[in-house]
Structure 1
Amino acid sequence: MYRKKFLGIFFIFLSLIIVILFSYFKFFGNNKSKIVHIENKEEVYNSNLIKDVEYSTKDKNNNEYFIRADEGEIDFSNPNIIFLKKVYAFIKLIDSREITIVSDFGKYNSENYDTIFSKNVKINYLDNKIAGEYLDFSLERNLMIISKEVSYSNLDNIMKADVIEINIKSKDTKIFMQDQKEKVILKSKN
């Protein structure tokens, strides 16, 4: 009789320990620490989420690139990739004026400084304003590709297109529609 009670209690405790260990490893076992280098400070994070992210760099041609976001999340599979929220970028190109870019989201590559901006992308350059839903900005390729519901305006004109490609170095620009049957819409403000 006592042996049956003892075995019953033993199996209950054993089951409880197994459930506790399983729960611990399920919820806490995959928590990896990450060392992040930001503004000459090293901090250890138990998560891949960082508040108030800032990066700045100069390329080999002395172009300056500054990016800031309210929040960043490091991709554990590729630590050079950081997913950003509420993004602001400032670009000062040599032999050119400043470019500012804002968007709801971004994907920044800290290795080559390429950045993809998405959702409510707004670009300001001199008196030119470009809005769209997607911007692929690459210092490495010297290229900006703005797409999805693109609108462009300056002091004199308003234009609607599907894609605007700008060579950052030469300033050569291509404006086109994805469907060749459709036409770019250009209206004068005057």
Structure 2
Amino acid sequence: MKKKIFVKIILILSLIIISWFVYSKYFKEDENLLFKPLNPTTKNEGEAIYNSNIIKDINYSSKDLKGNEYILVAKKGEIDLDDSDIIFLTNVTAYIKLVKNSELIVINSDYGKYNTINYDTIFSKNVKIDYVDNIITGDYLDFSMMKNLLIISRNVVYKNLENTMRADVIELDTITKDTKIFMYNSSEQVNVTNIK
């Protein structure tokens, strides 16, 4: 009788061990597959999510009610994970085509931050504005299409055929061409050099 009980216990334990082995080998792995990404781009899941937000060769175009056109081109963009309306750009060129004067304003910079809803764009590092015979360079540019306003600041140099000017800030209304040039410190003066 003891021998029969002992054999039953061994059989039950063997059955439990075999069941656990089969479960862990086949079923537990399949369960984990349900939570893996279908087409991961990298082994690191964080990188896969990060890479999915990068866009190459960006081209945005928009027009206001007056017919002025704003075209934005960039080599690369990255969608902000906290706000999908914001795109961080690299190697940026913007074209502002004004209907009133048929003039083209070209803006170049290393980096940009573009709002896809209101088209506001912040340009940074090696900013250059080129329009007609004028070139303005600086470190930071804030452009608002709705306000028709360009504000360039930090190490600003304005050059035309006759003058070179250094200032802290230049504000330019893209429609009226009204320009404000000033220094942050009111005791400092804008430096103007005549080229001729």
- TM-score band (shorter)? 0.7 to 0.9
User: Quick one: which of 76, 83, 92 aligns to 2:88?
Assistant: 83
> Is residue 92 of structure 1 aligned with residue 97 of structure 2?
yes
Question: Aligned partners of 1:156, 1:30: CA distance in 2, in Å?
Answer: 52
1:182 to partner: Cα distance = 1.0
Q: Which runs of 5+ in 2 are unaligned?
A: 1-12, 38-42
Q: Which runs of 5+ in 1 are unaligned?
A: 33-44
Letter in 2 for 1:93: L
Superposition CA RMSD, Å:
3.0
Query: Please, what TM-score do these two structures have when normalized by structure 1?
Result: 0.78
Q: Identity percentage over the alignment? A: 53
* Count of aligned pairs: 169
Structure 1 residue aligned with 2:45: 28
Q: How does 1:22-171 map to 2 (within 5 A)?
A: 27-28=44-45, 47-96=52-101, 97-171=103-177
Larger radius of gyration between Structure 1 and Structure 2: 2
Question: Aligned partners of 2:46, 2:90: CA distance in 1, in Å?
Answer: 28
Query: Please, what TM-score do these two structures have when normalized by structure 2?
Result: 0.76
Letter in 2 for 1:134: Y
1:169 to partner: Cα distance = 2.2
**SS of 2:136 mapped into structure 1:** strand
Q: How does 1:165-180 map to 2 (within 5 A)?
A: 165-180=171-186
Bigger strand share = 1
* Structure 1: 4+ residue segments shifted above 6 A: none
CA deviation string 1:33-61 (max 9, x = no partner): xxxxxxxxxxxx96100111111111111
